[in-house]
A and B are shown apart, each in its own frame.
Chain A
Amino acid sequence: MGGKAALLLILGFSTIMLMFGLNMNRVSTNAVDNSSNYFENEMAKEISRSGINLAASNLSRNHSWQPSDNYDYLGEDNLKITVNESGGIKTVTAVGSYKGISKLIEVKISLASFSEYAYFSNIEGDIWWTATDSVWGPFHTNDKIQVQGHPYFNGPITSHGGAIKYYTDKATDEPTIQGTYLPGTTINIPTDGITNLSQSAASSGYVFSGHSQVFLQFDGDSIKYKYNSGDPYVTVLGTDLAPNGVIYVENGNLRIEGTVKGNWSVGSNQNVYLDNDVVYNDVPDYKDKNDASNDLLGIVSKNDVIITDNAANSSNINVHAAIYCETGGFTAENYKTRSLSGTIHLIGGITQYERKGVGTFIADKTKKIPKSGFPVKDYKYDNRLLKKVPPYFPSTNTFKILSWLE
């Protein structure tokens, strides 16, 4: 009897201890499961991110790249990439799988245009961004950003070297940057941006050739042109002259002025001169990227875009346009010797190979004393350029991310 009781007692205790042990094991296992599930989720997500990076890298080299079959990333066939295009927007999707868990990342990208930049330069030269300078909108330089006395940048900034060059030291000169700062980014100005414009002008725009200079005046729906300053203007309906909105001067300088209505790109494989104000008929609220104004102008020059030294430009100039200088820069004619000409009021953006001067100052330890040209720059970025592009404006050949979903 005593033996049976002892046996039952031992069996009972063993059962209780076993159940207790199982429970403890379950809790421990669940804790590990919890941790490993999180890890597996993250791994699947990282594989998807790798897929997006892989696609972006290939698309940057070949814009029509399509992924092959599934990829192997830490497993077999555990990364699938698809690239679809609709309305100029590419949708890149990557599905990464790890231990039975799948994660999808979807990124929308589109080709970026130089018109999106508030300021772009390849070479900054010996010109410094100073305390009175501010840039609103996307900024890029393939050179160093040279700063003196806390200039202000509002918008995403990218630069090639990543180095910010301080005039004195960081404490005295560090810029305020409101926006993303991505050093180590190179965006080359193409050598054929102007060629693409000339081809589109030849196909369904208008090409002026055989003239050393062409005077073009925007006048609402009409466009007036002539070949010599003393000639009378020939007036035509803009849409009849260039249905696709592109006007190009082959082997001659283009001289423009007037009031722009509609979407236009004008260019020359030499220089473009601004003989007077070039303004929009419906001036947009430059801060509003969704402004309803449908007027948009791109000025594309192989060399320089130059503010003419004339009576019309002797007291301020208004320019509403996205400006592109493929091998030159935006400058003022005789800026070192012309009389003080007031302020450049720009609504748009400037892309230039080399930063050039528009005025000079007398050096002074405490302040800048204007000496010649345009001492004051009132550059306002037209936020519509984040979404709208003047017809056939040169592309950066790089993709920009519109949205990233994961």
Chain B
Amino acid sequence: MGYSTLLDIIGAMIIGGLMILSINTINQTASENSGRYNSDLISQQNLVSIVELLEHDFSRIGYCENPDSILSPEEMITYADSTKIKFWTDIAVSKINFRGDGTKEELIYELGPDVNATPNPNDKLLYRYVSGTVKDASNLGITEFRITYFDNMNNKLSHPIDTKLISYMQIDLRVEDCYGYDTDNSDKEHVEKFPTVFWRQIRMATKNMSR
């Protein structure tokens, strides 16, 4: 084995090492990007699911299939604060039949406590339940659910909210990935670890309340 062979081997090792390092870097970057994109996608899908449900339910505030049971606008919302709202509606009979059964129910949206079982320190449960039933929820990574109320002169209502004065609502919703990526890395900011999406409904006025 001469010098040339030794040089070949050393050269091959250097080139091979550089290749392995490159592959490792590519792998890390690819994994990180893939994880981040997937987290983004999951957060976005969760957000759209929640928004569709919110828009569906909030547009039905005060609705009742039976005209004799339809409430006056000032009776439709029974409790309101920044993270909880109770209102009368007639929930859809089924997924196919979106009309109600003619009996009004009191539906409650309520932001619950932090979920400690996930790496994200901020995620909370958003409960949606009918008054008198057990409240239950899936963790979709909600970190902010805030409702701001306005009267018919567009003045922001202060707490405690007089539900009879509510004419418009602003809903803020923030969803973050529950598990994130590289969450142990102290060099990264929270938003870098947990992809975040935000949605705001400005001045939602349900048609049934504008009668």
Residues of A within 8 A of B (CB): 13, 20, 23-24, 27-28, 30-31, 34-35, 37-38, 41, 89, 104, 106-108, 154-157, 174, 177-182, 289, 383, 386-387, 400-406
- Give complex CA distance A136, B36 in Å: 57
Given contact pairs A41-B52, A177-B152, A403-B208, A156 touches B34 in the complex (Cβ within 8 A): no
Q: Which residues of A contact B198 (CB under 8 A)?
A: none
CB distance from B210 to the nearest CB of A (A): 5
B2 close to chain A: CB less than 8 A: no
B45 close to chain A: CB less than 8 A: yes
CB distance from A254 to the nearest CB of B (A): 33
Interface centre among A37, A41, A156 (most CB of B within 10 A): A156
- Give complex CA distance A181, B74 in Å: 12
Indicate if the CB atoms of A404 and B207 lie closer than 8 Å: yes
Closest to B31 in A: A20
Nearest 5 interchain pairs by C-beta = A404-B207, A181-B152, A27-B37, A178-B164, A401-B211
15 additional A-B pairs beyond A107-B207, A180-B167, beta carbons within 8 Å, are A13-B23, A24-B33, A24-B37, A27-B41, A34-B45, A177-B153, A179-B152, A179-B164, A180-B209, A181-B152, A181-B167, A402-B67, A403-B70, A405-B63, A405-B99
Please tell me which one of the listed residues A20, A34, A157, A383 contacts residue B44 in the complex, with CB atoms under 8 A apart: A34
How many residues of chain B have a CB within 8 Å of chain A?
Answer: 41
B72 close to chain A: CB less than 8 A: yes
B38 close to chain A: CB less than 8 A: yes
Prevailing SS type, chain B contact patch: helix
Residues of B within 8 A of A (CB): 23, 30, 33-34, 37-38, 40-41, 44-45, 48, 51-52, 59-60, 62-65, 67-68, 70, 72-74, 98-100, 151-153, 162, 164-165, 167, 206-211
Closest to B56 in A: A406
Q: Which residues of B contact A289 (CB under 8 A)?
A: 72
CB distance from B54 to the nearest CB of A (A): 13
Q: Which residues of B contact A35 (CB under 8 A)?
A: 44
Please tell me which one of the listed residues A31, A106, A180, A401 contacts residue B40 in the complex, with CB atoms under 8 A apart: A31
Indicate if the CB atoms of A154 and B45 lie closer than 8 Å: no
CB distance from B205 to the nearest CB of A (A): 9
Q: Which residues of B contact A37 (CB under 8 A)?
A: 48
- Give complex CA distance A154, B75 in Å: 12
Q: Which residues of B contact A20 (CB under 8 A)?
A: 30, 34
CB distance from B123 to the nearest CB of A (A): 20
- Give complex CA distance A30, B43 in Å: 12
- Give complex CA distance A402, B66 in Å: 10
Q: Which residues of B contact A403 (CB under 8 A)?
A: 62-65, 67, 70, 208
Q: Which residues of A contact B210 (CB under 8 A)?
A: 180, 182, 401
Closest to A110 in B: B67
- Give complex CA distance A182, B62 in Å: 18
- Give complex CA distance A179, B67 in Å: 20
Given contact pairs A38-B48, A180-B152, A402-B67, A31 touches B74 in the complex (Cβ within 8 A): no
Closest to B205 in A: A180
- Give complex CA distance A200, B191 in Å: 72
- Give complex CA distance A400, B51 in Å: 29
Please tell me which one of the listed residues A13, A41, A386, A405 contacts residue B60 in the complex, with CB atoms under 8 A apart: A405
Question: Can you give 8 A-B contacts (C-beta < 8 A)?
Answer: A24-B37, A27-B37, A31-B40, A180-B73, A182-B210, A403-B67, A404-B63, A405-B99
